[in-house]
Amino acid sequence: MKYSLADRSSLVKKLAAEIGFDECGIAKAMPLDEDAKRLENWLKKGFQGEMSYMNNHFDLRVDPTKLVPGAKSVITLLFNYFPTAFQEKDAPKIAKYAYGKDYHLIIRDKLKYFLAEISKALGEIEGRGFVDSAPVLERSWAKKAGLGWIGKNSNLIHPKKGSFFFIADLILDLKIEADGPIKDYCGTCTKCIDACPTNAILIDKTIEANKCISYFTIELKSNQFPQGLEKQSENWVFGCDICQDVCPWNRFSTQTSHKELEPFEEVIHFNIKNWMELNEDEFNIIFKDSPLKRSKFEGIKRNLRLFQS
């Protein structure tokens, strides 16, 4: 059966929904020239801090054909992680995306299955799936695919569902009818900028990552935090959600239906005493499949000391 470009789009979106993705949009694969200039400028200013990997594979980040030869389409998928339960008051704060199982483990398998199902329906194709594990500018592709706009806090904002989503991409050498971008509805709102305690958010939708609490608590490897951070960290020990929590568009966020993201009981109920009494073996067992393992036991303990200062 021969499918039109529109038919291919409908089929792809139907499959995405059946597999469990919350939103699906499609963009034409092309070099991201404007994003390349912004990324180059961002790197030159040193906003990446110790994240030296951001300097690598620049050409791969901005040209999908470098990742998939002959790439014609980029399918972007959203996976809602807004939690079904929240941490208890006064607990060391953990970013909501890390409440449950590591999303890489969940979404990677779904992408493989998704690619296989598209191939089964439309014939042999070449493609690769990406979920924050390769040099792909996910938010840029999501914007091009009409799944939202980039907010001042640099997050993708969906007009009906907010910003608490994981973003994944499938780059294919298959031509599919593309969706168009939508309007930016941030307007004159500066709530995220005003709320950031470390002034990491600039008015031009640029994040000085080397000032961000998420950077300090996850990416920074040094045992020494910048002076005064203990007064600004607001008790975050892994990541930070402040700029999302204050965003008016997140009043539309709904609890995830993905059982795989059910919050760990320890994340919800541990207080500072529970965390401080935790030993490394216990940490590795409890959080074996958690994003928290990115900071490792030593990193979490370091952040907890900041929490207590």
Residues with a catalytic annotation lie at 132
Strand-strand pairing, 236-238 and 93-94: parallel
- Tokens read off for 41: 């400028």
Contacts of 109 (CB under 8 A, 6+ apart): none
How far is it, in rounded angstroms, from Cα 22 to Cα 106?
Answer: 14
How far is it, in rounded angstroms, from Cα 70 to Cα 174?
Answer: 9
What distance, in Å, lies between the first and last C-alpha atoms of the chain? 66
Provide the 8-state DSSP code for 130.
Answer: E
3-state DSSP call for residue 274?
Answer: helix
Contacts of 168 (CB under 8 A, 6+ apart): 21, 76, 77, 79, 107, 110, 111, 129, 130, 131, 132, 138
- CA nearest to 283, candidates 237, 216, 239, 221: 237
- CA nearest to 133, candidates 286, 294, 267: 294
At residue 36's C-alpha, the angle toward residues 30 and 41, to 5°, is 170
Helices and strands per DSSP (H, E), number in the chain: 12, 8
- CA nearest to 88, candidates 298, 266, 207: 266
What is the rounded radius of gyration, in angstroms, for the C-alpha atoms of the chain? Answer: 20
How far is it, in rounded angstroms, from Cα 11 to Cα 296?
Answer: 41
